[in-house]
Amino acid sequence: MTLMTMLGAVQLGAAAACVVVVLIPMVMAGWHLSRNRILLYCGVFFITLAVCLHLTPYFPSVSDFVTSVSSVVVFDHRSTCINLVNDIAWEVKPNVSLHHFNPTHNVSSSLNLYEKRWDWSKSPKHDACDFQKLSKSDASDLLNGSWVVVAGDSQARFFTLSLLNLILGPQAKRMGSVRADLFKRHSDYSILVHEIGMKLDFVWAPYVVNLTNSMMGFKTKKSYPDVMVMGAGLWHMLHVNNASNYDFALRMLKSSVVSLLPLTASASIKSPHLFWLGMPMLINGMLNTQEKREKMSDRIWHAYDRALGDSRLLRQTGGPLVLLDIQSMTWNCGPRCTSDGMHYDLVIYEATVQVMLNALLIESHQSL
């Protein structure tokens, strides 16, 4: 065998190995393998890719192949990081400044009893995504000149409060009036943050149909926010209490969002960044009325959660919206992070805001 044919064989083998290792995880992923198994395959994929990259200079045809694969890898990195961005670990410890803990402390002051800290889970995969808590000035740079709309129920109000808290600073004089105006019952709220030319609208939209209507409104006015965060479910659960009806409403919302997206693309307007604010875990025994404890049972909660999955509204099921996973955050933070089993400590919404900002950074290919 001459040296040339040997080199040819090695080259062919390397290329074949690359193809096989690239294809296997993709095919397997289609077969709903367990998450760990997929991660294993992804690991194998990247190791092989690294080997291929090292071989590249020696084999010109592998080089062409790698060029075509690397664009897939960039895309893969982004979608991997979007999938990991909600992985938050909590540390909930007794508040050390409360030395003389009084066990008859009432519920409204119980949120002070524990100190809650959070950070993204630690693993090589998470580290590679370089998630970070954005400071006031980082967040201001990112949202400079943007129109942000947050639409939904009281969870969305708390999210809005946390976002403004970050942008304006918790000590800002304006925060007092923001709190008062934002929490007027059942009302919309709007603010212009002059310093960074950011407009923020909170839209009171307790039902999914209200979200659909506001999407239609943007379409009619041909004017779209840069960032839109939406979520609704708890009101429907309490007042309609019918998961198939919720499912139907979500499908309508999805089709209105999907019909809006190509419109913005063709008009060469930047497509809005869309997020879904998930439902919190409900802690049934802590809910504050008998009606809530009956209607908002674990069974119906799960039926509503399934409806969200079935509607394919979320990116992870092929839909348009990136999930802000309040469910996993409230589950991991636990009962010590809520006083009424439904509304959580502000720190949950602070974390959710940071998850959204990190997802925005990933989506817009930016880094700080």
Ligand X SMILES: *[C@@H]1O[C@H](CO)[C@@H](O)[C@H](O)[C@H]1NC(C)=O
Binding site for ligand X (CB under 6 A): 95, 97-98, 106, 108-109, 112, 115, 140-141, 144-145, 195-196, 204, 207, 209-210, 242, 244-245, 248
Task: Report the alpha-carbon distance of residue 215 to residue 205 in Å, rounded.
Answer: 11
DSSP-based helix, strand, coil % in the chain, nearest 5? 60, 15, 25
Closer Cβ to ligand X, 244 or 259, answer by number:
244
Identity of the residue, 129 or 139, whose beta carbon is nearer to ligand X in the bound complex: 139
Shortest distance in whole angstroms from residue 141 CB to ligand X: 5
Smallest distance, Å, CB 146 to ligand X?
10
- Output 190 or 244, the one with its CB closest to ligand X: 244
DSSP 55-118: HGGG-HHHHHHHHHHHHHHHHHHHHHHHHHTT-EEEEEEE-TT--S--TT--GGGGGGGEEEEE
Question: Of 203, 314, 307, which Cα lies nearest the Cα of 257?
Answer: 314
Tokens 């006031």 map to which residue?
136
Nearer to ligand X, 145 or 318 (CB): 145
The minimum distance between CB 248 and ligand X, in angstroms, equals 5
What's the closest the beta carbon of residue 210 comes to ligand X, in angstroms?
4
Retrieve residue 246's tokens. Answer: 């919720």
Which residue's CB is nearer to ligand X, number 98 or number 175?
98
| Minimum gap (Å) between residue 193 Cβ and ligand X | 10
- CA pair distance 98, 110, nearest whole angstrom: 11
Closer to ligand X by CB, 22 or 111: give it.
111
Length of the chain: 368
Q: How far is the CB of 240 from ligand X (least distance, A)?
A: 8
Burial (0-12, 13-18, 19+ Cβ within 10 Å), 23: exposed
**Are the CB atoms for 43 and 91 separated by under 8 Å?**
no
Residue whose CB is less far from ligand X, 214 or 330:
214
Choice between 104 and 266, CB closer to ligand X: 104
Q: How far is the CB of 194 from ligand X (least distance, A)?
A: 10
Tokens of 52: 């291929």
CB of 269 to ligand X, least distance (A): 18
Q: Which is nearer to ligand X, 61 or 187 (CB)?
A: 187
**Hey, what are 257's tokens?**
């969002």
Q: Phi first, then psi: what are they for 200, rounded to 5°?
A: -125, 125
Q: Which pairing describes strands 322-324 and 273-277: parallel, antiparallel, or unpaired?
A: parallel
Give Cα separations from 141 to 152, 161, 175, 269 (angstroms): 26, 19, 20, 20
Dig out the tokens for 192 from the structure: 């212009």
Judged by beta carbon, residue 46 or residue 114, the one nearer ligand X is: 114
Environment class of 151 (CB within 10 Å of its CB; exposed 0-12, middle 13-18, buried 19+): buried
CB of 140 to ligand X, least distance (A): 5
Compute the least distance from the CB of residue 361 to ligand X, in Å: 15
Which of 337, 342, 343, 316 is CA-nearest to residue 88? 337
